A and B are shown apart, each in its own frame.
Chain A
Amino acid sequence: MTVTTLSAAPPLPTATEKFRFYALWIAMAIVLVVLPQIFGSGASLTTFSLIGISAIFALSYNILLGQTGMLSFGHAVYYGLGGFMVIHAINIIGANKLSIPLPVVPLIGGLTGLLFAALLGWVSTQRSGTAFAMISLGVAELIASSALILRSFFGGEAGISANRTKLFRVFGWTFGPQIQIYYLVAAWTLIAVIAMYALTRTPLGRMCNAVRDNPERVQFVGYNPHVIRYLAFCFSGFFAGIAGALAAINFEIANSAYLGAVQSGTVLFAAYIGGIGFFIGPIVGAIVVTILSLGLSDLTQVWQLYFGLIFIAVVLFAPGGITGLLMMHRPLLRAGNLFKLLPSYLAALVATAAMIAGLILAIETIVHYTVNPGDDSHIKAFGVGFDAASPYIWATAAVLMIGGYLAARRTWTWVGHAWDNATHEAREKGIAA
């Protein structure tokens, strides 16, 4: 090949870029190792473990939605079956004193997810879009309802449990304390994240993106889009199974909730809120959603309602998710004029916060009158006590909502103008496209 021809190709990564790339992964590993030294409480270790599990699950979901363009409403099937199989595996291994240590057990969950994805996926991946979404929903309902009927395997309402400490031990680790579970989850999270990232950079990974964009054209460059979707589905099922296995190990129990529609909805929520267009999006989403679901439930009775409102807000105003919002600012950061947005952002955020405060007051007041009308009207939400019966509170809610809305509408247009000016500047410096 001539030199002129290859000059058209994108430059190969330099040694510095390669070093930076690997340094990033090593830094991530170091962070995972030292994190418990900084936040060592049982509650934070549990939170970190749940975030890790949720991150693997959300990334596996994004192999479907973000990478291949398949909207699934039943991804919890592969997560849940992985979890159930692992609980059974732990019981069998423990009872027969097999020399299989706990750290390799998540692989059983992964293979279970892979097996069921391979069995159930061939038909559903014939088409993407509505047909795929509907089939995924049907399969999920089928499996979730059989979980309540097939008691011998799924244990009915109560589920099945296992004792994770009874397995063959390596280095004297019992996996009783949460810190050991944290390290188990952290190690698997790192492995799974690296594997799923690597997958995006293979011929199959790129053809997944092509199928997402235009399955018709894929057929005319020699590929069968059905096979690509099927393989993506199998990979996705494998990693979902690993996540489910880690969850089952963490809780030492698997029940029908693992397979249910709520679990499938939560993973969609996490992936979308984080941003399905970016590899790290679902990780960001997993962190946010896990912290929100643990935190919000202490602060308000109707936390699921707020979850829903957040989801609607992201779909409407930030379809790129949190990661998309952050990445939008990158050209401005590089052009060095991001600070010019700050005044308008500050004004818009104050107005929006006022509107949200009014909305929360109104919601909590309505909840008081509809859900617990007999209770004392002095209620507490988000740590703030107020009298839901007081007309002053109603008036404040109305003023904040209406005033906040009007102010927000005005101030967000300022942000828009500031944005346009800043982007224009960046473009003149040759940075933004």
Chain B
Amino acid sequence: MSAAIELRGVEKSFGDVAIIRNINLTVAQGERHALIGPNGAGKSTTFNLISGYMAPSSGSVLLRGEVISGLPPYQINRRGLSRSFQVTNVFANLSVWENLRCAVLWATGQRYSFWKNIDNLPEVRSRTAMILEDINLTARRDVPAGLLTYAEQRALEIGITIAGGAGIILLDEPSAGMSVAEAARAVALIRKVSEGRTLIMIEHDMGVVFDLADRISVLVYGQIIASDIPAQIKQDRSVQTAYLGTAA
């Protein structure tokens, strides 16, 4: 079985500045993979390269063995990869319900149809309701997304990401900016929704990382310096120096 996601010699530079230098990474099907590293290491750029937000300068990204680098984001999404954003990126004027429903439409085969009544699609309705329950926003169903609290918007962000039923989920700092209690709820949510899927997650909170991840990759200055199971990463010398800080 081919890997869910594979990066082969991926590089990205803006002008003369190389942001990503030769990344090779393999994430197996069903794995929960955490991508960690200091600010500016290129974690979000890596997500942008995988999800089609930008194309790599060289190298290739493979999704279940097929090259996807260079494809536009919507085509990558249709192949079963969905991502969230570090800065909340929802449909601000639409209600929570509408937000989730928009995210369900393509996956249920509605395409660009203009001959169907949207309120009369049982599958869309039930899937949207299910996601709404999953992210615990039922009470806020009819509120415009722009008026939600920060933590609620983050939950909606995850909801939109998983609503299409993609097999591979990329979450960019899902618990950033949350209180301890909110982060705990977010972790429970992520654990629940990533069941049976492949998850790649950028995260700064080491508690969350070691709690959730099956494997961890450490990105420093655009290069992966280690990729292993959590126990090994903790002991890795180069990680300690570069990232966790040298022991005093």
Contacts and interface: CB of A to CB of B under 8 A. Distances in A.
B98 A206 contact: yes
B128 interface: yes
Nearest to B121: A203
Nearest to B137: A8
Interface in A197-229: 198-199, 201-207, 209-210, 212-214, 216-224, 227-228
B160 A222 contact: no
Contact of B74 (A4, A204, A219, A231): A219
Contact of A217 (B97, B111, B115, B160): B160
B74 A220 contact: yes
A33 B93 CA distance: 37
B126 A6 contact: yes
B141 A202 contact: no
A1 interface: yes
A223 B119 CA distance: 20
A10 B82 contact: no
Contacts of B132: 8-9
B103 A221 contact: yes
Contacts of A224: 72, 74
Contacts of A199: 114
Contacts of A231: 112, 114
Interface string A1-39: 100111111101100000000000000000000000000
A433 interface: yes
A5 B114 contact: no
A214 B74 contact: no
Contacts of B119: 12-13, 201
Given A206-B118, A207-B112, A228-B112, A10 B142 contact: yes
Contact of A214 (B51, B89, B117, B126): B89
B93 A202 contact: no
A56 to B, nearest CB: 18
A222 B74 contact: yes
Contacts of B92: 213-214
Contact of B160 (A5, A6, A221): A221
Interface in A104-120: none
Contact of A8 (B83, B91, B94, B129): B129
A204 B125 CA distance: 16
B107 interface: yes
Most buried by B among A6, A212, A222: A222
Given A201-B117, A207-B112, A220 B141 contact: no
B162 to A, nearest CB: 11
B163 A202 contact: no
B77 A222 contact: yes
B133 A202 contact: no
A220 B126 contact: no
Interface in A329-357: none
Nearest to B130: A5
B107 A8 contact: no
Contacts of B78: 222
A384 B132 CA distance: 62
A338 to B, nearest CB: 23
Most buried by B among A205, A207, A220, A227: A220
B129 A204 contact: no
B94 A213 contact: yes
A221 B138 contact: no
Contacts of B97: 9-10
Contacts of A198: 117
B89 to A, nearest CB: 5
B39 interface: no
Contact of B111 (A203, A205, A213): A203
Interface string B71-98: 0111001100011010001111110011
A223 B77 CA distance: 9
A204 B101 contact: no
A34 to B, nearest CB: 30
Contacts of B116: 202-203
Contact of B112 (A1, A204, A213): A204
A4 B132 CA distance: 12
A60 to B, nearest CB: 15
B232 interface: no
A244 B72 CA distance: 38
A413 B163 CA distance: 46
Given A209-B93, A219-B73, A219-B77, A227 B112 contact: yes
A147 B35 CA distance: 60
18 contacts: A4-B133, A6-B129, A8-B133, A10-B97, A198-B117, A202-B113, A202-B115, A202-B118, A203-B121, A206-B98, A217-B160, A218-B102, A219-B73, A219-B74, A220-B74, A221-B77, A221-B163, A227-B112
Interface of B: 51-52, 72-74, 77-78, 82-83, 85, 89-94, 97-98, 101-103, 105-107, 110-119, 121, 125-126, 128-130, 132-133, 138, 141-143, 147, 160-161, 163-164
Given A1-B126, A202-B115, 15 more contacts: A1-B130, A201-B119, A202-B118, A203-B113, A203-B114, A205-B114, A206-B105, A207-B112, A213-B91, A217-B89, A221-B77, A221-B105, A222-B78, A223-B112, A235-B114
The 7 closest A-B CB pairs, nearest first, are A222-B106, A9-B129, A213-B91, A203-B110, A219-B73, A204-B114, A1-B126
